[in-house]
Amino acid sequence: MASWKDHIIAALNELGGEASYQELYPVLEKLRRKAGRSLTPKWKQTVQGTIEENSPDSLKFKLGREPVFYSVQGIGKGRWALYPSFLSEGAGDQEMSYESGLEGVLKEYHYLRRCRDPRLVEARKKIDEFTCQSCGYRRELFGGFFIEGPHLRPILSYQAEGQLSSI
């Protein structure tokens, strides 16, 4: 008996390896009915949940599972594709850089990082005349000076947010 995941893989292969939810639903409905499987009122949510549980692009991805689907245009865009190992012979027109993997897939990441106040950084560079505080290096580039601000006082991951500081 085929699972939702099996039917989604079959439907995506029928659609060339990639599809939006709107393209996927009619094909899935046909496959499920042909297999004598019923459709609940919330079957479309089941499809979305199954895809997300089997995609490392989703927060719902179940660790330990083999990735089956990936987000083509980024999270929330509703367009999904099969990893190459799940593509049927002749399905998908993707040109792959390597036989065993897909290269250049766009992924959207969301993360937090601690940032310095750019006004403090610029002020420190001017005070030091664009010279490295650590080694004395100074680089002129395109009629101006270029220097990365070394962090003699690093921003710590456990530092309180919005803490007043000087560089």
Strand positions, DSSP E, the chain: 18-20, 69-71, 79-82, 139-141, 144-146
| Location of each CATH 1.10.10 domain in the chain | 4-86
The SS3 assignment for 145 reads strand
Distance CA 157, CA 167 (A): 17
According to CATH, the topology of domain 4-86 is: Arc Repressor Mutant, subunit A (1.10.10)
| Number of helical H runs and strand E runs in the chain | 4, 5
49 burial level (CB within 10 Å; 0-12, 13-18, 19+): middle
pTM flag (> 0.75):
no
One digit per residue, the tens of pLDDT, for the chain of length 167 reads 789 999 999 999 999 999 999 999 999 999 999 998 889 999 999 999 999 999 988 888 877 888 999 998 877 788 999 998 899 875 544 444 444 455 666 666 677 777 777 788 788 888 888 888 777 878 777 777 777 665 666 666 666 666 666 66
